Chains A and B, each alone.
Chain A
Amino acid sequence: AQTVTQSQPEMSVQEAETVTLSCTYDTSESDYYLFWYKQPPSRQMILVIRQEAYKQQNATENRFSVNFQKAAKSFSLKISDSQLGDAAMYFCAYKTPRNNDMRFGAGTRLTVKP
């Protein structure tokens, strides 16, 4: 079974600093996709970044980047120049074309200190 593990229930970062959120997953599939979602206090889930497993290059979206280590089954999210608006729950997610469902981790609550 595919599982997604986020080992950090809570993280905090000083405004303008950099923080890395961890995610590991377990799968026997070779074709899959990984995502990071942000859930602010409004609770609407917002896609932050995605990574295709077949791509070796790490995905980047402005201040957000990932460190994708396929052999280690690790997919961490780095937030640079943290802003107060980055405070939210962050969920790591996994999807394979063979299944219809997306598997989510338990989430990491990020606090940004001014």
Chain B
Amino acid sequence: SQTIHQWPATLVQPVGSPLSLECTVEGTSNPNLYWYRQAAGRGLQLLFYSVGIGQISSEVPQNLSASRPQDRQFILSSKKLLLSDSGFYLCAWSQGTPYEQYFGPGTRLTVT
């Protein structure tokens, strides 16, 4: 069966510091991968998605970036965090029809 991992689970970082969040998927190959951000009490905002190694599409202009160095690894990064980067970050994967996405446990990021 497929599983998806995210770490860290919780992160507190000062403004201006770098960021690296990691997501890995097990039990499947060549999945589509997604990064979402969820502000408190709000819906999900798609940040990035990837259909293959090195293929990243950005949905929202921001100071975040994403990379996919391996087939089942998806990384969300920032060189300098802003206060507005605080939120709950969710990674998800999908594969083919019927296109449902499966989510990881999430990372709660607080920028101070």
Contacts and interface: CB of A to CB of B under 8 A. Distances in A.
A101 B103 CA distance: 14
Interface string B10-27: 000000000000000000
Interface in B45-71: 46, 49, 51, 57, 59
Of the four ranges (under 10, 10 to 19, 20 to 34, 35 or more), the interface on chain A belongs to: 20 to 34
A45 B88 contact: no
Contacts of A106: 42-43
Interface string A9-52: 00000000000000000000000010101000011111100101
A106 to B, nearest CB: 5
A52 B106 contact: no
Contacts of A105: 43
Interface residues of B, number: 26
Contact of A44 (B49, B57, B101, B103): B103
Given A100-B51, A101-B59, A107-B43, A45 B98 contact: no
A74 to B, nearest CB: 19
Contacts of A104: 43-44
9 tightest A-B CB contacts, nearest first: A45-B103, A106-B43, A95-B99, A104-B44, A101-B46, A104-B43, A44-B105, A33-B98, A100-B49
